[in-house]
Amino acid sequence: ISKMYHKEKSIHMKSSASSLYNSLSVLRIAPRCLNCFTVVHANVVNMVSASWDGLNYSHRQLQSKEGNVATSSSLIMQAALCVLPSRDLLVLTSQKGIQMYESDGSIMVYWHALDTPETPTAKVVFARGIAAVREKYICVGVSSGSVLVFDVPGKGSNIILSEVLEEHKEAITDMASECSGNLECIADLVSADDSGLLCVWKSGEDFHLLNKIPGFDTCCSSVNLWNGTVIAGYGTGQIRLYEGVTGILHAEVNAQARWIYSLDFAPFTGLEREELCLISAAEDSWVRVWHVSLTPETNSVEIEHMYNECVTDTQICGAKFCDGDGYAFAVTSYDLSEIIRYTQA
Amino acid sequence: MSTRTLPLLFINLGGEMLYILDQRLRAQNIPADKAKKGRWQLIYTRELMKQELFKPQELYSKKALRTVFDRLAHASIMRLNQASMDKLYDLMTMAFKYQVLLCPRPKDILLVSFNHMDAIRDFVKDTPGILSQVDETNKQLIEIYTPLSGGEFQLIRQTLLIFFQDMHIRVSIFLKDKVQNSNGRFVLPTSGPVPYGTHIPGLIRIFSCSGEELRRMQFRDGGNYSATLREGSFEMYGDRVIKLGTNMYSVSRPVETHMSGTSKNSSQHTKVNTTPNPLAKEELNLLARLMGGLEVQKSTNTDSGFRVNLFATDEEEEEALISRPDELSYEVISIQATKDKQTNAALAKIMGEFGETSEPAPSSSSKGDDLLAMMDGL
């Protein structure tokens, strides 16, 4: 059996990756043929811009800030490069609040402080879970279960908190938005939490809750949304595919032997059905590639396994496709100072 | 990150410290009855079980935690030179890092903690006063941690992993057992029992819209996983099932570390601490409370106390001190009397005792009635 992907030259970072869900974020800057990667290390974001062949790259390290405090030791829970039609933003979530920067990390355009208690409490406060929704929203989750909706103008720093969604009772783990461009899709956003609860939303001046899918007390650590189908990864190592609006379970996979930390997909359109490459990564050292196909007419979903890659002796915390059609993917692991890349053989 | 991490860090590191010191005392042929009478285990246990640990707080910096353990190690008449103290701390931290990484489920960190607690209880079982402290601490662990969800435990684990980030010190016993590679990274097997609550990878199930299973398929997962073991007990007493956190040392398995093989990225300055005083105010207060009531044993003559050497010979210990790479320096804080000094009398007393510590005069192995008398007096 020939290998589907082979390992390329790794990209080295200035510091190692921390163990955080969905820890790798990738932006494709097509006109400049670059990929921009972000990986969190404690209170610092490693940013690497790399050419598509991975041979040329430049580094930047961005330190967590709090409002007008120059540097902060508060730990970053997640960094994500968010793509909106008019602009790209880098969003960082930490124990103290939410920071938004221009996508190269050069200028902070917005700071939102969380209500952190004077003395530490048992229930810790932090923000986690980031998604860019439709034309102008950036949504961020909070440890209380709230989802903050920020209204982002086409340019400038006049970002405002427009709404707070209160449905989750446990800490938000991840969020994902619909980016198929399919106007028939009603659901725009899915949010996931520590109890495994999935909330499906429609965006707008007021966000509207479409559905709640219970989690049976199993943490959902990573979630994706494609053509109305929610793809969720759990701490038990399972992947489940749901129809978002109805909550119908299409498929369940005993995918990994440890906690899933990252899910990502690369869509490509078949003639009669939508198809995706799905990638899952977990603390069991395995990255797995799956083929998912959705047939709208019969409302059916198929998933089959395509490929395994073992990143030996590492606990993977981030895996993302580097391009639109699943040709290349990148992986980060706890304690590793490199971004490992794979391309199709 | 999680504000409930410190007790687990303290208890598990403390447990490992007791295992290591116990093994070294046996290896150094300090007679068993003298080692027992040294009551060092009682003293350390008493200090480990302090209640202040359990209030919600941020994790200590590496420096602050090392300082606490430094003082703890010197709480009895046991003496450790700088090199031995460094090595002791290396072993403690790498052992717990290993346990945190290899835990099948995040919640299993609690079982690892119970393994340490069970061993600590065994060390002190003949002393009712300290035993009841251990039981009290055990009760608190159960009360605080058993209600937490898997996600909350994973947050605790992620916080611990930040503490251990970039530590790749090679430990002989781990290298020999092939659980650690020569580059200092731990072996993560892709075989063995899956965690409790996880299924063996391989099954894909497709459902109809009405919820019935349409078909199932198997895929090749590439590993060699087996069914989960039964769940360990979270009660005061019980079979923990997980072996992580039990004593892996014995007389025939010596404790050694190699100083090379660390990651190129030094961990010391990645977490920026902008405060000029290395110990934050709260840490200092807690340190004071922990140290308060701790009778620091000062050697008045070379016969008192017994010296524990974490190396095979005195020469090796000296060599280790000289050759320790800079990036592995723990930068132990010697607390000076400064303007920040609290009016707290206890703290003032303790701070006065810190000062500039000179190397304690290396004493040869314990001997004499003076020593026994001293131990009995503790």
Cα–Cα distance for residue pair B74/B38, rounded to 1 Å: 13
Mutation for A interface: B199, B263, B281, B286, most A CBs within 10 A:
B199
The mean per-residue pLDDT over the stretch A303-328 comes to 93
- With an 8 Å Cβ cutoff, are B104 and A258 in contact? yes
The answer on pLDDT for A45 being more than 50 is: yes
| ipTM attached to this prediction | 0.95
> What does the pLDDT look like over A232-262, one tens digit per residue?
999 999 999 999 999 999 999 999 999 999 9
The residues near A260 (Cβ < 8 Å, ≥ 6 apart) are A221, A222, A233, A234, A235, A237, A238, A239, A280, A281, A282
Please give the C-alpha separations between residue B289 and each of A35, A156, B53, in angstroms, as whole numbers.
Answer: 52, 51, 10
Instruction: Say which amino acid occupies A311.
Output: V
Q: Of B149, B166, B272, which has the smallest distance from its Cβ to A73's Cβ?
A: B272
CA nearest A128 in B: which residue? B1
Angle at A76 between CA A83 and CA B153, to 5 degrees: 115
- With an 8 Å Cβ cutoff, are B185 and A335 in contact? yes
The answer on pLDDT for A78 being more than 90 is: yes
In whole numbers, what is the pLDDT of chain B averaged over residues? 74
| Out of A286-300, A330-344, B89-103, B139-153, least confident range | A286-300
* A315 touching chain B per CB within 8 A: yes
* A256 touching chain B per CB within 8 A: yes
pLDDT on residue B127: 84
The dihedral formed by the CA atoms of A181, A185, A191 and A197, expressed in degrees to the nearest 10: -150
Asked if residue A255 lies in contact with residue A237, where contact means CB atoms within 8 angstroms, the answer is: yes
| Out of A249-263, B223-237, B312-326, B337-351, least confident range | B337-351
Closest CA to A250 of A282, A223, A228: A228
Q: Which residue in this structure is represented by tokens 């210990």?
A: B317
pLDDT on residue B269: 32
* A299 touching chain B per CB within 8 A: yes
Q: Of B217, B222, B263, which has the smallest distance from its Cβ to A308's Cβ?
A: B222
| Out of A1-10, A213-222, B159-168, B192-201, least confident range | A1-10
pLDDT on residue B215: 94
| Beta strands, E only, chain B | 78-79, 170-171, 191-193, 203-207, 213-218, 224-226, 257-258, 306-307
pLDDT on residue A120: 77
The mean per-residue pLDDT over the stretch B68-75 comes to 78
Which chain B residues are Cβ-neighbours of A44 within 8 angstroms?
Answer: 270, 272
> What does the pLDDT look like over B266-306, one tens digit per residue?
333 333 333 333 344 444 444 444 444 344 444 433 445 66
pLDDT on residue B327: 64
In whole numbers, what is the pLDDT of chain A averaged over residues? 92
The answer on pLDDT for A77 being more than 60 is: yes
The pTM score is 0.86
The mean per-residue pLDDT over the stretch A146-168 comes to 95
> What does the pLDDT look like over B92-144, one tens digit per residue?
999 999 999 999 999 999 999 999 999 999 888 888 888 888 898 999 999 99
The residues near B159 (Cβ < 8 Å, ≥ 6 apart) are B1, B2, B5, B59
pLDDT on residue B343: 35
Tokens of B203: 């099954």
A310/chain B closest Cα distance in angstroms: 8
Which chain A residues are Cβ-neighbours of B162 within 8 angstroms?
Answer: 18-19, 42, 75
Per-window interface: A 96-155 vs B, CB < 8 A: 119-122, 124, 126
Q: pLDDT confidence of B329, banded at 50, 70, 90?
A: low
DSSP state of A196: -
Q: Of A122, A170, A313, which has the smallest distance from its Cβ to B4's Cβ?
A: A122
